[in-house]
Amino acid sequence: MDETFGPEYVRPAQPDCTRCGCCTAALCEKGRTSVMRCLGHVGDAFRETVASCPCSAESTKHTSAWMLAQVRVTRLAQELPIPEAAELLLRDLAGGKVVAEPGEPFPQLKVRGLAQLVHGMPAITPLGLTYLMAKDEVRAATAVRVVDVDKKTRTARVEVVAWRPDEPVTVLMDQIATDSGLDVDSLPGRWLTADANCRAENADGLVLTGYRNSAPLPAGWMGVDDGEDQ
């Protein structure tokens, strides 16, 4: 009896990512703009293969996972700081001190991504440096204007008045919506208040937390009209 079905459909192979060697280009494009990284967009059979993909890692600058990690560690430093002994160890590592026997505090740093082993020796991570900066820097409330949002990448561009109001920075759109309780569609053009380290040298070092509705702005202030919605 002849088969009544047509030829078997085989999905065309997708091109590999040229940067990592473990994912397709399409997967890395999605992973870079997802807090779930590449790992969150594959089935169980491929999780181990893509788990360490650098294209979407929180250690790779400007990925969504990296932006989320900066916020997480900053909030950790401000709201739930690590024990004093662990912080002292972290500061020793930041200062380049060789610590052959780090003791009990090291696992606390490692599990939070603040320290790691390099050639068998404890070393501070970039996130560890972010933590110390968040502990030491002055953070203050500042007016923030949402310039626009990109729903595809789940990011927003914002202007930070107390930093550089003419230099928009990219932040996580969902962070703004979650913090403020506002609908994403209402964000473009809206003025908010957020906490920031306004002495940051560049956009990579600027971390915004605690987005909330701002008090009404004076009429005419930076282009705000009497009837404009806040």
Question: DSSP labels for 36-88?
Answer: TTGGGGS-HHHHHHHTT-TTS-TTSTTSHHHHHHHHHHHHHHHHSPPPHHHHH
Together in a domain, 53 and 73? no
Asked if residue 228 belongs to a domain, the reply is no
Is 126 in the same domain as 78? yes
pTM: predicted TM-score of the whole model, two decimal places? 0.86
State the pLDDT at residue 219: 60
Q: Is residue 1 part of a domain?
A: no
| The pLDDT of residue 227 | 43
In a domain, 220, yes or no: no
Same domain? For 112 and 165 the reply is no
Final residue in a domain of this structure, among 136, 171, 198: 136
Would residue 230 count as lying in a domain? no
Q: Tell me, yes or no, whether 208 lies in a domain.
A: yes
Q: What's the pLDDT tens digit per position in 22-70?
A: 999 999 999 999 999 999 999 999 999 999 999 999 999 999 999 999 9
Dihedral sign of CA atoms 165, 170, 172, 174 in order: positive
Q: Domain check: are 144 and 208 in the same one?
A: yes
Q: Does any domain span residue 29?
A: yes
Q: How far apart are the first and last CA of the chain?
A: 72
Q: Both 144 and 132 in a single domain?
A: no
Q: Identity (one letter) of the amino acid at 88?
A: L
- Show which of 7, 26, 57 is a domain's final residue: 57
Residues 151 and 179 in one domain: yes
72 assigned to some structural domain: yes
Residues 175 and 209 in one domain: yes
Q: Are residues 100 and 160 in the same domain?
A: no
Residue ranges making up the domain that contains 126 = 66-136
Task: Enumerate the H helices of the chain as residue ranges.
Answer: 25-32, 44-50, 64-79, 84-94, 105-111, 126-136, 173-180
For residue 115, the model assigns a pLDDT of 97
Q: Are residues 208 and 149 in the same domain?
A: yes
Q: Indicate if 147 and 176 belong to the same structural domain.
A: yes
The arithmetic mean of pLDDT across residues 168-191, rounded, is 97
Domain boundary among 98, 115, 136: 136
Total domains in the chain come to 3
Average pLDDT, whole number, for the chain? 90
